[in-house]
């Protein structure tokens, strides 16, 4: 089932070699989705995707292209699944090795990984507002204490600049607060059943919000309506942590499944919640197929495509957190400091600047700042996860 090229697992080491590549893929999906929506908001629909007779309306083909790109927001759920899978897998190995979970060390590992970059972005918030020539007045406390997603639900503008996208980090932090306790105190033999029950409860919560007729933003931002995907990632981890699960899909079957996901991405909005069917089916279709893709990407020895320059892609995966954090903040800055200043609305220049600057800034910050904190992780590791 596994390949030495794909996964390295020993008594005290867990390292999924190519998971970083998947992280970068998830990040770049979100980057393009946010950048495209930003371009349409600042400059209108691109001419190539608009009706010839009505530039304010998507053409027939443009509607599919728009849906496909905007569904790149699914990259956030892909991030969630990867986190749920990896965190649970490592905690299960720790419990198996030592018979318990060192919860304080778990919290320290997560803090070292997330907080330095997260709080740096908050510290740079006033500079971003200045460069973007924005009049935004963000709620810094909501971000400092990781309740931005709940604050945004009640805010007049839930997507206020420059911290709109930090809701997803808040959801992850809420997950980290409870998850080591669940893995630590639930007997491993009952864990699989417990996770399925928890997933069902979270699904019922989503349904209860729908039947209450609340603002759909609740279903998008509420922790208990989004943490379900982290739990789904954990379910995959439980199934594969003991090596008993089997990979049975052929390369052709996988290709057909991914083609179905691509077609579905061009036809429906993954987060549409206008009916019960949409609430309980749409998002989960994306997530289940994405989860299958994640598992095969991690465990399968047969790849659909062997990527060249893997070190390069893995490096982009290592800085993907920074890419995600900086890309959204850069959009109005690029518009104000480049596009407006040079009187251009060239979409390709706009996208190039967003991707290039996001990667460049993330790499510089990673090398000069983030790495110094990541070195501290070794002091809190029970199961080694260092890349070799």
Summarize pLDDT for 279-289 with one digit per residue, the tens. 999 999 999 99
Q: State the pLDDT at residue 5.
A: 40
pLDDT at res. 1: 40
Q: How far is CA 85 from CA 114, 217, 231, 232, 387, in A?
A: 17, 26, 8, 8, 18
Q: Residue 21: what pLDDT?
A: 93
Burial of 264 (0-12, 13-18, 19+ CB in 10 A): middle
pLDDT at 3: 42
The pLDDT score that the predictor gives to residue 386 is: 59
> Per residue in 261-283, pLDDT tens?
999 999 999 999 999 999 999 99
Task: Tell me what pLDDT residue 383 has.
Answer: 87
192-223 per-position pLDDT tens digit:
999 999 999 999 999 999 999 999 999 999 99
Q: In whole angstroms, what is the distance from residue 243 CA to residue 7 CA?
A: 12
Q: How confident is the model at residue 18 (pLDDT cuts 50, 70, 90)?
A: confident
pLDDT at residue 4 above 70?
no
Judge whether residue 9 has pLDDT over 50.
no
pLDDT by residue (tens digit) across 90-133? 999 999 999 999 999 999 999 999 999 999 999 999 999 999 99
Note the pLDDT tens digit of each residue in 297-348: 888 877 788 888 889 999 999 999 999 999 999 999 999 999 999 999 999 9
Q: What's the CA gap between 316 and 149, in Å, rounded?
A: 27
Q: Where are the domains of the chain?
A: 7-379
Q: Quote the pLDDT of residue 23.
A: 95
Q: Which tokens go with 239?
A: 């199934």
Dump pLDDT digits (tens) for 127-139.
999 999 999 999 9
Which one-letter DSSP state was computed for residue 384? B
Confidence band, pLDDT 50/70/90 cuts, at residue 385 = confident
Query: 13: which strand partners?
Result: 384
Separation CA 83–CA 27 (nearest Å): 13
pLDDT digits (tens, 9 = 90+) for 30-43: 999 999 999 999 99
Q: Are 332 and 35 spatial neighbours (Cβ–Cβ below 8 Å)?
A: no
What's the rounded mean pLDDT across residues 47-56? Answer: 94
- For the cut 80, the answer to whether the pLDDT of residue 252 exceeds it is yes
**Percent of the chain with pLDDT strictly greater than 90:** 86
How is residue 295 written in tokens?
């598992």
Burial class (CB within 10 angstroms; exposed 0-12, middle 13-18, buried 19+) of 247:
middle
pLDDT for residue 12 is more than 70: no
**Element housing 9 (H / E):** strand 7-9
Q: Could you tell me the pTM of the whole model?
A: 0.94
pLDDT band at 387 (very low <50, low <70, confident <90, very high): low
Q: What digits encode the pLDDT tens for the residues 177-187? A: 999 999 999 99
Task: Give the per-residue pLDDT at 246.
Answer: 82
Residues of the chain above pLDDT 70, percent? 96
130-149 in b/e form (b: 16+ CB < 10 A) is ebbebebebeeebbeebbbb
Burial class (CB within 10 angstroms; exposed 0-12, middle 13-18, buried 19+) of 111: middle
Average pLDDT for residues 366-379, to the nearest whole number? 95
Quick check: 7 pLDDT over 60?
A: no
Q: Which residue, chain included where needed, has tokens 């490096």?
A: 315
């Amino acid at each position: 089932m596994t390949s030495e090229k794909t996964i390295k697992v020993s008594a005290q080491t867990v390292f999924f070699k190519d998971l970083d590549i998947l992280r970068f893929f998830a990040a770049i999906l979100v980057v393009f989705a946010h950048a495209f929506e930003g371009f349409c908001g600042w400059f209108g629909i691109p001419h190539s995707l608009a009706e010839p007779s009505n530039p304010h309306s998507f053409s027939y083909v443009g509607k599919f292209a728009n849906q496909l790109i905007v569904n790149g927001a699914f990259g956030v759920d892909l991030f969630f699944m990867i986190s749920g899978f990896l965190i649970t897998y490592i905690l299960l190995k720790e419990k198996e090795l030592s018979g318990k979970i060192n919860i304080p060390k778990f919290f320290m590992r997560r803090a070292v990984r997330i907080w330095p970059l997260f709080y740096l972005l908050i510290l740079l918030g006033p500079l971003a507002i200045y460069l973007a020539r924005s009049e935004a007045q963000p709620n810094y406390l909501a971000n400092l204490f990781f309740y931005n997603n709940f604050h945004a639900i009640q805010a007049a503008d839930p997507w206020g600049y420059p911290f709109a996208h930090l809701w997803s980090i808040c959801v992850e932090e809420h997950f980290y607060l409870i998850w080591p306790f669940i893995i630590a105190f639930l007997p491993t033999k009952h864990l699989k059943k417990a996770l399925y029950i928890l997933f069902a409860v979270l699904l019922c919560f989503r349904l209860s919000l729908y039947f209450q007729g609340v603002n759909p933003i609740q279903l998008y931002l509420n922790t208990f309506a989004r943490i379900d995907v982290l739990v789904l990632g954990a379910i995959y981890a439980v199934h594969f942590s003991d090596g008993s699960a089997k990979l049975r899909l052929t390369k052709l079957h996988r290709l057909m499944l991914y083609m179905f996901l691509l077609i579905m991405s061009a036809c429906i909005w993954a987060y549409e919640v206008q009916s019960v069917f949409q609430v309980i089916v749409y998002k989960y279709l994306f997530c289940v197929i994405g989860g299958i893709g994640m598992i095969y990407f991690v465990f399968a020895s047969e790849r659909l495509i062997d990527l060249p320059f893997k070190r390069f892609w893995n490096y982009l995966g290592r800085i993907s957190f920074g890419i995600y954090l900086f890309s959204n903040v850069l959009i109005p800055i690029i518009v104000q400091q480049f596009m407006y200043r040079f009187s251009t609305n060239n979409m390709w220049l706009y996208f190039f600047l967003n991707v290039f600057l996001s990667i460049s800034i993330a790499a510089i910050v990673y090398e000069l700042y983030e790495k110094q904190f990541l070195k501290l992780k070794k002091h809190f590791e029970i199961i080694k996860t260092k890349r070799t």
